Structure formats: structure tokens, C-alpha cells
Chains A and B, each alone.
Chain A
Amino acid sequence: MNQREKVVEIRDLKKAFGDLEVLKGVDLDLFKEENLVVLGKSGSGKSVLIKIMVGLLTQDSGSMKVFGQEVSRLKKRDLNALRLKIGFSFQNSALYDSMTVRENMEFPLVRNEKNLTRAEISRRIEELLDSVGLPQTINQMPSELSGGQKKRIGVARTLILNPEIMLYDEPTAGLDPITCGDINNLILEVRERYKTSSIVITHDLTCAKQTGDRMAVLLDGQFDALGTFEEVFPNAEDDRIKSFYDYNFINS
């Protein structure tokens, strides 16, 4: 790991929706080229955390620094510049369903890198589709793709702008175990090939174990455990974390 250089720094972050406090003073760091897995139950605020990171939501208080910049204080232009360094893979892939795979991938590219020629754009799209193993889908519509294919194309679309940070929101949700394994491998390949730092939001411990360098468990709006998988899970003393582990590895 690259001298523990921090790329994301979160301090005492709070966010509520009406009376419901979702994040109650969260502290977290993401280091360069690290895969950090954020685990927690549905509705625990995992996705809220990464949406604040890209400026889709704003915190009520506390600090969210990405590459040393306080996200909530950035002007629109600076926020967009920061967003180009962050790839966001959505839970449901969020492919534009009126566009083909090629058009989906072109969309961010032609709007953010205006000097590229048609040939360069095509080459980049083909390269990325190759890297996610789906070159044959280039002219297909999202409705013609399986769940796993959509996830892969979604990841390829975020990679097209060469992000330095990847945010994966529930990358394996709704997929069969074999496709989950493929997606987990893809997450590792992306880090390897593009040298990205990643936050993986999930409640799937298999995904967490396979992809994460460190785990952070979000319980009741705060991170209760931080460390490697072995440090956090098998011998967890907290009943909530223990039940999380038991459910994933014993009951299922």
C-alpha cells in the first residue's frame, strides 16, 4: 500500500432525514489504492455516506474531505472536477435505458473530454468493454442485458473517465453466487489495473471478505468496528456484528 496516503477523510459526519438520524458522527479514512468495505444493515446509511462523498447529498454537520477538498463547500465547477475523479457504480447499475451500451459509455466521455476523436472514443469504449469481458454487448440496449452484465457495463462506464476513487453501491445485490464471484473479481481487477482506491458498500460478507482490505461496520449511525475481516468478524464480541457474521456464514 502506498504510504497510507489519505484520499478521503470523514470526521464527525452527521445526516438526518426529518426525525430519522442516519449518520450520527461518523469518522472514516480511505487510503490510496485501498479497498474499504462498508457493511451494515439496509437503511443504516451506507449509501448516504457515499452520496455525500459525490455531492448528491449534503451532510448536516461534520466534514467530508476528498483529496483534501471539503465537498460541501465546493462550487459547482469544482465539484464537477472532483466528480471526474470519482467513479460511482450504482446499486441498479443506472444504465440509461434509452441508449445502447456504446451510447451509455460515450455519454460521460464526449461531455467531459471534448478533444477526443471518434476513433479514440471508439477505441476507449472497446478497450473497457474488453476489460469487463463484454465486447459483444456494444450495440445492445440495457434491457437486453442480464443483471450481472448491467453491473459490469455500469462499472465500465464509470471507468471511462479514469477515476481515482471507485464507489460501489451494493455491487452484488440481486445476483446469483457465481455472478457475485465474477463481480468481486472485477472489483479486484479494477484496483489492480487502474490503481483506484475503492469503497464497497455491501451487506454481503462474501463480497466483503473477497474484495476488502479493511472492513467498517456501520451500526446505529456510527462505525462500531474497523479492521481487516479477520479482526472484525470471526471473533466479534458485539452481538450485532456477530449476528451479521452468523447470518451470512452459518444460517445462509
Chain B
Amino acid sequence: MAEEPDDRKPLLSKKLDKFFVGLNDAWNFVRRFFQEVFLPPYEFKEVVHQCYRIGVESLPLISLTGFIVGIVFTNQSRPSLSEFGAASWLPSLISIAVVRAMGPLVTALIAAGKVGSSIGAEIGSMKVTEQIDAMEVSATNPFKFLVVTRVLATTFMIPLLVMYTDFVALMGSFLSVNKNELVSLTTFFVQVFESITFLDVTSSIVKSILFGFTIGIVGCYKGYNSSKGTEGVGLAANAAVVMAMFLIFIEELLVLQIVNAIRGV
């Protein structure tokens, strides 16, 4: 067996070191959030401001995407269900798919792109222009003002956005079903509410809270630890999106396993 070149070992070792140091930093960052979130002073005004920015300003994009997802998913599912003469099950199928997976996932991915990158870039830019240091030297806790407020805002607002997306997607689906199957709004929503269970709704909300927290904390972490000047700001924004999306898929998988275990599937 050929011997491993000498220079590969230190490189691998360096990369592993960097990975574990990064993991430890991230853990300390999350731990600091939970330490600071309950301690005064509370930045209520900034939390409300961030909720507005994250929630209200995301509405147009979320509305459009949710609506299109509802229509497209309905139109894509129709031929398959029609083959078995089950087109009348469309409202049930769509509602289960939207509430259990698509609503939370689509909202979280869009928010990771829009909100996560903006948090990463904003805090990163504040870091490289010494604005965070300026807060620190004026005896203000920048972590509380910048990180705690944004993470709380994403954690509060993403579940609300998910519920809104679910509704908009179902309305999109209804338009398609109404046009093709001539189903009324009442019949559509009766079928929707008969199909989804309490567990579907609670797991969707729990998942959304988790996604919201992830988007906020990853954006803040990447921004807060950015370096290398303006290049670092771009890298922080990019890394915030990529890392948040990656974690969202992992969380989706984990929550699915837990929910399936509860269902006994």
C-alpha cells in the first residue's frame, strides 16, 4: 500500500481542527443566546421592528410563492389521481402535503434566502465597519441588541408566515380545483379540515419555530463572525443562506422521523 504523503496529514488535521473549533464557536454562540434572552434589559422596540422587517416585508414574496406552489402542485397531482378516478381527493392530498411539508419548507427556504442573507450581510457589515465595537464601548450589549432581537423575531415570525403560506397555497389550490372540478369553497375547506390532524398542525408549527430559530441564529452567527472586510460580508451572507438551508433539510428529516414515530408509521 502506498504511504500517505506527509503534507496531507497536517492539512487534514488542520481542517478537522477548524471544523471542531467552528462547531465549538457555534455552540457557544447558541448558548450565549439562551443565556442572554432571559436577562434584562429587553429590547422590545427592536424586536417589534425586526418582526415587521422579517414578517411584513416578506409577505409579497411569500404570497406569490405560496399561491403558485398551491396551483402547480394541484395541477401536477391531478393527472395521477384522475387515472385512478380519485380527482375528488385533490383537496385532501394538497392540504396534507401543504400543511405537513410544503408550507413550512417553502417558507423556510424563501426566508433563509431573503431574511437569512440580509441578517448575515447587515451584521457582517456592522462588524467590519466597527459598529459592533462602537456599541460595545458605549456600554451597550451588541449581542442583545443585534442577535437576540433578530433571532426572536425570526422565531416568532416564521411560524406565522408558514400559516399564511399554507392558507395562500390552499387558496391557489382551490382556484384550480374550483375551475376544473367545480368544487365550492365550503366543500373544499370541509375536505381540507377533515384531512389534516392536530398532529399535522402542531408538528408544522414546531417545525416552523425550529426553522425560524435556525434562520436567525445562523444569519447572526455568520455575520457576527465575519472578517476580511467587504469580501467577508458577502461570504457571511452567502454562508448564512447555505448553512441555514442545509440545517432546515436536516431538521425536516428529524421532525418527520419523530412525527412518524408518534403516528406509529
Report which A residues bind B (CB closer than 8 A): 51, 54, 56, 80-81, 83-84, 86, 88, 90-92, 94-98, 107-108, 111-112, 157-158, 161
Contact between chains at B139 and A96 (CB < 8 Å): no
Which residues of B lie under 8 Å from residue A51 when comparing CB positions? 133
Report which B residues bind A (CB closer than 8 A): 41, 122, 125-126, 129-131, 133-140
Which residues of A lie under 8 Å from residue B133 when comparing CB positions? 51, 56, 88, 90, 94
A51 to B138, CA, bound (A): 13
A111-B140 in contact given A92-B129, A97-B131 (Cβ < 8 Å): yes
Main secondary structure of the interface of B (DSSP, over half): helix
Contact between chains at A94 and B138 (CB < 8 Å): no
A96 contact from B41, B134, B136, B137, Cβ within 8 A:
B134
- Give 7 A-B pairs besides A94-B133, A112-B139 with Cβ atoms closer than 8 angstroms: A56-B133, A80-B139, A83-B137, A84-B139, A88-B134, A92-B130, A96-B131
Contact between chains at B140 and A91 (CB < 8 Å): no
A54-B137 in contact given A98-B122, A111-B41 (Cβ < 8 Å): yes
Contact between chains at B138 and A56 (CB < 8 Å): no
Q: In chain A, what residue has the closest Cβ to B122?
A: A98
Q: In chain B, what residue has the closest Cβ to A54?
A: B137
Which residues of B lie under 8 Å from residue A84 when comparing CB positions? 138-139
Which residues of A lie under 8 Å from residue B137 when comparing CB positions? 54, 56, 83, 86, 88
Which residues of B lie under 8 Å from residue A83 when comparing CB positions? 136-139
What are 18 inter-chain pairs, A to B, with CB distance below 8 A? A51-B133, A56-B133, A83-B136, A84-B139, A94-B129, A94-B131, A94-B133, A94-B134, A96-B134, A97-B126, A97-B129, A97-B131, A107-B140, A108-B138, A111-B41, A157-B138, A158-B138, A161-B138
Q: Which 3 A-B pairs have the closest CB atoms?
A: A108-B138, A94-B134, A80-B139
Which residues of B lie under 8 Å from residue A112 when comparing CB positions? 138-140
Which residues of A lie under 8 Å from residue B126 when comparing CB positions? 96-97
Which residues of B lie under 8 Å from residue A96 when comparing CB positions? 126, 131, 134-135
A111 to B129, CA, bound (A): 22
